[in-house]
Structure 1
């Protein structure tokens, strides 16, 4: 497949209100047509809470089951991160649900110490690469965006995704780093951020975006309010740019520990 239709959901998140958030997402998703992948923000069912115990779910919990239901009923892939409890530990875990209901997960590697995320959650240690409709996708979470070595395209991925709760006070860094990751990795880079104010009175202004392999924004400017947009990624043009310029052939070789 040469094209991938991706839908970005830039939404408000009701603070620690799983049932209400899932109902709101259901209403938003039901009318989305002609897409292959829907991307939700980080901790989309709760907001970026540092009190995981009251809201954490198992992988068998309602939010994951809701994701599976949405993906299978719409025959699309669906991704976003949730607060998950496993063996007494809490994780900021991204789920990538395939149209048949199977899924793969990624645990956030870089925990946001400024907000004490490292004191409340356990860090992941493995990147993942997902093959979907002819595209290789690398999904990461929010603060991972600040660490270019972790994001480096050593897996030959085509699409780099960041789901986020990135505050407005540092949104200039969000804009700059998304563009930088696309340029240095010669890939499509997608950032999906939330909007609104959370339970800690932190304001989020969105700025969700899609950049091409040269760092050009291919999505129209998102408003700083709730917004849904579908973008088509063209693999042929990406491969041609890579072959013509050859920048990835000159990258350093290394292994992450």
Structure 2
């Protein structure tokens, strides 16, 4: 395996102001990166262009011609990296919370958020994603998750099909200790590197966010963390040969229970 350089953006998202978010992010990149090939993967928080506003029909983008998607393509090409973040995209009579992964050559992959936040009535406005996704960068296999997905370990169970788990979120400050705890738990139980990317600041509903953007080792130890309440980019290089060595010495995955995820269709 090779190494992968990760840049994670802890960002105070302007509510429903895409252009302001694009402009401020571009300034952050300009201030942080000394060259245009500073990372292999650049990660943005959930709904980075608008904030987590799910109940308005004007806060969604078409599948084609998305301004946020065009912007992601521009940044990926400019910095010669993969750029990833979620956007609310029209689908049927609702929308999906779509985690775009945009490559420097213009290729796009995506994962649609599976677990919808019932307390916030996300399921009333957003369609549930149906497919688990693995994305490969430089030979490294990555499991993308979005916010509330973090609470559901069966969906994220490592069947030796990924090396790195990434979760991008708008995880609120009152439940911050759960975010911190579950990120470490997912790393240890799955013997995987984990990157969590969260926003800061109050959203349009006055819900506060304290951050907690972090990179965690496969044994649950923090490698690097952002400062709470501070808008910043953290960058680190992950060495996946260390993960291989760890799993060789402690092959707990060989004793894992086998299972299969099935789609349940309710009867009308």
TM-score (norm 2): 0.93
Aligned to 1:11: 11
User: Is contact 1:77-1:97 (8 Å) kept?
Assistant: yes
Aligned to 2:61: 57
Instruction: Give the distance between the partners of 2:41 and 2:18, measured in 1 at CA.
Output: 22
Question: Is 2:43 aligned against 1:43?
Answer: no
Describe how 1:80-91 pairs up with structure 2 within 5 A. 80-91=85-96
Instruction: Give the distance between the partners of 1:242 and 1:104, measured in 2 at CA.
Output: 29
**Runs of at least 5 residues in structure 2 that lack an aligned partner in the other structure:** 263-268
Aligned to 1:216: 221
Describe how 1:224-243 pairs up with structure 2 within 5 A. 224-243=229-248
SS of 1:154 mapped into structure 2:
coil
1:221, distance to aligned residue in structure 2 (A): 4.9
Q: Which runs of 4+ in 1 moved over 6 A?
A: none
1:76, distance to aligned residue in structure 2 (A): 0.4
Instruction: Give the distance between the partners of 2:91 and 2:82, measured in 1 at CA.
Output: 24
Aligned to 2:150: 145
Instruction: Give the distance between the partners of 2:20 and 2:160, measured in 1 at CA.
Output: 38
Question: Is 2:71 aligned against 1:72?
Answer: no
Question: Is 2:105 aligned against 1:105?
Answer: no
Describe how 1:150-229 pairs up with structure 2 within 5 A. 150-229=155-234
User: Is contact 2:99-2:113 (8 Å) kept?
Assistant: yes
Go from structure 1 to structure 2 and tell me whether the alpha carbon gap of 1:74 and 1:109 turns closer, same or farther (over 3 Å shift).
same
User: Is contact 2:13-2:48 (8 Å) kept?
Assistant: yes
Instruction: Give the distance between the partners of 1:45 and 1:96, measured in 2 at CA.
Output: 15
Go from structure 1 to structure 2 and tell me whether the alpha carbon gap of 1:174 and 1:130 turns closer, same or farther (over 3 Å shift).
same
Instruction: Give the distance between the partners of 1:207 and 1:63, measured in 2 at CA.
Output: 24
Instruction: Give the distance between the partners of 2:84 and 2:129, measured in 1 at CA.
Output: 17
1:89, distance to aligned residue in structure 2 (A): 2.6
Number of matched pairs: 257
Aligned to 1:115: 120
1:126, distance to aligned residue in structure 2 (A): 0.6
1:155, distance to aligned residue in structure 2 (A): 4.8
Q: Which moved more, 1:22-31 or 1:90-99?
A: 22-31
User: Is contact 1:52-1:83 (8 Å) kept?
Assistant: no
